[in-house]
Structure formats: C-alpha cells, structure tokens
Structure 1
C-alpha cells in the first residue's frame, strides 16, 4: 500500500488559522502493540495516555502538548511517520 502524500503547506496553513501560538495541541496515534514506547519517546516531557484495542493488537496514544508554532507540530508528525505501522488521527 502506497503512503499518502503529506501536504505540509496546507496543514501549516490550517494550524496557523486554528488559533494563537503557543497552544495546547492534542496528538492521537494508533500503533501496533509494542510500538507505544516509540510514540512516548517523541514526548519526553508530556503525559502519554494509552489504551489497548479490544483485540489487544493495537494501542492508541493521546498526548496533549504545548506547542510553540505550527512547525513544531509538523516536526512531531514527521518523526511519528517513521514509526512502522503508525496511524495518525
């Protein structure tokens, strides 16, 4: 399956129009079980709330982090994209 192309400019524009920075931003990811620590490593100073799927195959992670600007948010998503099997919500 081909990876969906990420439109960075469009996403940056949406972030800029969503409010003033710094802002509290919520990240949500789903990863295969065993990969949740890779998501947590992206947020060393934030609480990462996790919940296992009903089958136990996947783990959802929710993180609220204070972000200084749109580029910081985009950077997190680019780093997260390197995690095998990750789905960003």
Structure 2
C-alpha cells in the first residue's frame, strides 16, 4: 500500500528532500510536531509505530473508524529539527500497511 504523503512522487528520496525543505520553511524547530497515520485496526501496528518513537517525548491518541476496519493514530512528538521529522517518517514508512498523512 503506498503512503499517502509519497503518492505524488516517483522517487521517495526526492520526496523526503522536498519534505525537509517545506518543514524548514513552515516550522520553527525545536517544537511539538503532529504525526498522523492510518493503519488497519491491529494493535501490533500501533506497537510498531510506537517503537519508532522510543527515546522521544510524545503523546498518543488513536481512534477506530466507524466500521472498525481502520484506526487513525496521532502522535504529538517534541522534535529538534526537520531531519528528525523526516527520519521518523522514513522509519514509519517501512511498516507495512501504514498510510502517512
């Protein structure tokens, strides 16, 4: 399943370079950054995502879709710079079935 944030880019490397530039223009790091993901309703997937955030200060909220098939996961995390945001997206992007918003 393709990640939503990468869907308009044939080359993931170019996407992440572009993302970093946009983050640096639009954010004043260090700051709290909100990561949003959609996953098939599976507690194992949430655990995999949270492993990426080990060592970070974060808060988690999640909500199951009305039919129970999907879960939206929001992680509000303190990050130092755009590089950390990109690194987190790259690591979560390797988890099968996760859609990044």
Could you state the TM-score of these two structures normalised by the residue count of structure 1? 0.88
Runs (4+) of structure 1 moved beyond 6 Å?
A: none
Per the alignment, residue 70 of structure 2 pairs with: 58
Could you state the TM-score of these two structures normalised by the residue count of structure 2? 0.78
Unaligned runs of 5+ in 2: none
Q: How many residues align?
A: 89
**Structure with greater proportional helix content:** 2
User: 1:79 Cα deviation (Å)?
Assistant: 0.5
TM-align CA RMSD: 1.7
How far apart, in 1, do the equivalents of 2:2 and 2:97 lie?
Answer: 13
Per the alignment, residue 46 of structure 2 pairs with: 36
Per the alignment, residue 96 of structure 2 pairs with: 84
1:47 to 59, 62, 66: 59
Unaligned runs of 5+ in 1: none
